[in-house]
Every structure is written in C-alpha cells, then in structure tokens.
C-alpha cells in the first residue's frame, strides 16, 4: 500500500535482531513496501532523525519511527523519544513505541512525551496495522501541506 510516490521511510529502532525481522515481516504482510531502515542503538537512531553523523547525507524526509525502549548504552528509547519531541524541527515525526515493557508509568510517560501510540510486544497485529496506516496517512498529509518549512527547520 504505497500511499504516495515518495513514500516515507520506516525507521525501526531495536537492539534485538529477531524483533526487527518480525517487524519487517509484519509490515510486508500488510503490503507496505516502504523502505525500511533498522538501527540497533539509540544514538544512531537520533543521528538518523536529525540527519547528522553517518546519516548527514540521507534523503530529507521525516521517517515513521518504530521505537523500542530497552536498549543498551546511555541512550534508551525514552531518551530518543524525548529528544525527537522536544525539538521543534522534528516534533511532528510520528513515533510508535514498540516495546516489551507494559509498566503503566512508562506508558504514561511516553504519551506525555508525545508518542503517537504505545504498543506492547508481543504485537497485536490489528493494532499494529491500524497504527501504521493511520500514521502513514498523517505523514503524507503534513508533507503535502508544508514540505519547505519542514526541510528548513530540520536543517537548523
């Protein structure tokens, strides 16, 4: 289901290869053939979203982020979410929390920080599909509305 010509990239951030593979297969199953980028730590994920470091030259379009919380290193999923949502240039990027933790406090915190939806693993396929589709549409809409603004802000 390619919604528009220049389809958005789906960024999967998870330290477990198996989980990444399962997410890929789920996306394939709902016929989403968008490009998928999988990263296994928070620092690289931020570099991707903010277009810096190794990803400074990537194509300038906001991704849809599937974010796990428990990752090794100093930057875990919550921190990634916080940084994305506190920066005006990237605040609009839709982030789906996809994680094993089901602690209500963590869920509340993520929603407060601005995640679009919080999904616990093992994944309920219907919820997953719905979330992707809805947010995918959302992404298309904001891009069509003000692409220039987004590009300029991201560069700051």
- Which positions lie near another protein, rule CB under 8 A? 15-19, 21-22, 25, 70, 72-74, 100-101, 103, 121-123
| Radius of gyration of the chain from its Cα atoms, rounded to whole angstroms | 14
Q: How far is the CB of 41 from another protein (least distance, A)?
A: 8
Instruction: Name which of 98 and 131 has its Cβ closer to another protein.
Output: 98
CB of 119 to another protein, least distance (A): 12
Written as six digits, the tokens of 9 are: 């990239």
Based on CB atoms, which residue is closest to another protein, 33 or 70? 70
Provide the minimum distance between the beta carbon of 3 and another protein in the complex, in angstroms, as a whole number: 25
d(CA 64, CA 135): 8
Stated as kind and residue range, the H or E segment containing 107 is helix 104-113
The nearest distance, CB 141 to another protein, in angstroms, is 31
Neighbour tally for 83: CB within 10 Å = 17
Nearer to another protein, 73 or 88 (CB): 73
In angstroms, give the least distance from the CB of 120 to another protein.
9
Cβ proximity to another protein: between 81 and 154 the closer is: 81
Q: CB neighbours of 10 closer than 8 A, spacing ≥ 6? A: 27, 32, 34, 35, 36, 37, 63, 64, 66, 132
Q: Are strands 64-67 and 95-99 parallel, antiparallel or unpaired?
A: parallel
**Which CB atom, from 18 or from 148, has the smaller least distance to another protein?**
18
At 103, list the tokens: 């602690």
């Amino acid at each position: 289901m390619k919604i528009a010509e220049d389809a958005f990239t789906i960024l999967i951030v998870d330290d477990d290869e198996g989980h990444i593979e399962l997410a890929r297969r789920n996306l394939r199953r709902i016929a989403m053939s968008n490009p998928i980028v999988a990263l296994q730590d928070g620092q690289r994920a931020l570099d991707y979203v903010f277009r810096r470091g190794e990803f400074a030259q990537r194509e300038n379009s906001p991704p849809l982020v599937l974010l796990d919380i428990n990752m090794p290193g100093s930057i875990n999923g919550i921190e990634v979410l916080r940084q994305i949502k506190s920066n005006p240039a990237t605040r609009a990027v839709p982030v789906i929390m996809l994680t094993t933790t089901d602690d209500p406090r963590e869920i509340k915190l993520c929603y407060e920080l601005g995640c679009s939806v919080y999904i616990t693993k093992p994944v309920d396929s219907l919820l997953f599909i719905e979330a992707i589709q809805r947010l995918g549409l959302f992404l298309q809409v904001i891009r069509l509305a003000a692409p220039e603004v987004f590009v300029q802000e991201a560069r700051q």
